[in-house]
Homo-oligomer: A and B are copies of this chain.
Amino acid sequence: MNINLDNIRRPTLLVDEAICKANIHWMAERAKKLGVKFRPHFKTHQSGLIGEWFREEGVRAITVASVSMARYFIEKGWEDITIAFPLNLRESDELIELSGKADLNILVTMSEPLESFGQKFYGIKRPVGVFVKIDTGYHRTGLTVSDNEEIEIIINTCRKHSLLTFKGFLTHTGHTYNARGKDEIEMISRAAFNLLKSLKVKFDSGPGDLILSVGDTPACSLIDSFAGLDEMRPGNFVFYDVMQTVIGSCDTSRIAVCLACPVVSKEQSRKEVAIYGGAVHLSKESVFYQGKTIFGLVCRLSPQGWSEPLDDCYISAVSQEHGVIKVSNSVFETFKPGDLLGILPVHSCLTAQCMGNYMINGELAEPQM
């Protein structure tokens, strides 16, 4: 990195290109070694430029979280996109339009909206792939592996509408975010993977091309066998964050984003430093870290980048534009108003979304979608 810190006047989200590219390369290689297709989720970075860093690693197929995000990446030249969010019937017209511009896969959790969509589905040029969302324990959305009847109806709905192609089963094992360490993640993931694999046995009556797709950064970072699975869709790993270090997916040296924040006030008696940088920049995401609820860790900044997080320093509270940092006695004396410090975010997906653009190598990148 090479940042002119004097140019930073307000909270600014720095991306370390070298760390970020290393994360992308590492995960792309891992997918190759594990023998699964790499279809990274782009909801974390939401950036055309960072998308190009994936293309340099040979990535051609991606995952997004919304129809709007599909549109954005189609405009950036991506042609193979899974929208990993339950079919929103109110966006049927947009989906039909976009299906003419890229190979799209959609996600369904119930047969009823797919049937409604199928009936509307005239005049498109390319088939749309359909994944059935399976709930393997996260309990957000999705059918369970024992919902045979509903799964059959969905598969039959695809058969009925010639432009809907049943592709397979997709799960998001988001409950790994409650795990701590590889053993717990392994236990959760194994159970989820086995549930998913049972569906292949039941429903792959065809030429064996039914796809089983999994994706969460903890599992994709740590699990050593994806035998029987076909595709991984991790997203957060592109930046990682403090939450992932708490889960055990990575160490802090692999976090690729840091929010540069001006120091605006100090409170001697409480050993607190107030920064320009709050909930509208970091989000209100918190995590339990070394016995405390924190909203970010604190680093020193230099033109070359950021330091490892400082011991015993953390954001203890955020309001709209403020953050309050608890610092150790020795660190307290080293910051004064007008200085900059760096914050490693708890949840990089939300921080990136709040900020809307990145500073990469000292230059502001084109805003995200």
Residues of chain A having any CB pair with chain B under 8 Å: 8-10, 43, 65-68, 85-91, 94, 109-110, 112-113, 116, 139-141, 174, 262, 264-267, 270, 274, 276, 279-280, 283-285, 317, 319-322, 324, 336-338, 340, 349-350, 353-354
Contact = CB atoms under 8 A, between A and B. Distances in A.
11 contacts: A9-B90, A10-B67, A10-B88, A85-B264, A87-B264, A88-B262, A90-B262, A109-B274, A139-B270, A140-B322, A354-B354
Contacts of A94: 9
Contact of A65 (B116, B140, B283, B320): B320
A236 to B, nearest CB: 10
Given A274-B86, A284-B283, A353-B280, A110 B265 contact: yes
A253 B81 CA distance: 43
Contact of A320 (B43, B86, B116, B338): B43
Contacts of A140: 274, 317, 319, 322, 324
**Top 5 A-B residue pairs of the complex, sorted by shortest distance between their CB atoms:** A89-B338, A86-B264, A113-B337, A109-B265, A9-B90
A321 B66 contact: yes
A350 B280 contact: yes
Q: Is the interface of A mostly helix, strand, loop or mixed?
A: mixed
Contacts of A264: 85-88, 109, 113, 141
A264 B141 CA distance: 10
Nearest to A46: B280
A109 B275 CA distance: 12
Contact of A350 (B85, B265, B320): B320
Contacts of A43: 320-321
Given A140-B274, A320-B350, A354-B354, 16 more contacts: A9-B90, A43-B321, A85-B264, A86-B337, A88-B264, A88-B276, A90-B338, A91-B262, A109-B264, A113-B337, A140-B324, A141-B265, A141-B267, A141-B324, A279-B283, A280-B353
A84 to B, nearest CB: 10
Given A10-B91, A264-B87, A337 B110 contact: yes
Given A65-B320, A264-B85, A284-B284, A9 B91 contact: yes
Contact of A68 (B10, B67, B91, B322): B10
Nearest to A65: B321
Contacts of A283: 279, 283-284
Nearest to A94: B9
Nearest to A349: B320
Nearest to A177: B319
Contacts of A280: 350, 353
A280 B353 CA distance: 7
B85 A276 contact: yes
A85 B337 contact: no
Contact of A265 (B86, B174, B321): B86
Contacts of A89: 262, 337-338
A110 B67 CA distance: 49
Contact of A113 (B110, B338, B349): B338
B91 A337 contact: no
A159 to B, nearest CB: 21
Contact of A174 (B66, B319, B321): B319
Nearest to A133: B265
A198 B40 CA distance: 60
Contacts of A336: 112
A261 to B, nearest CB: 10
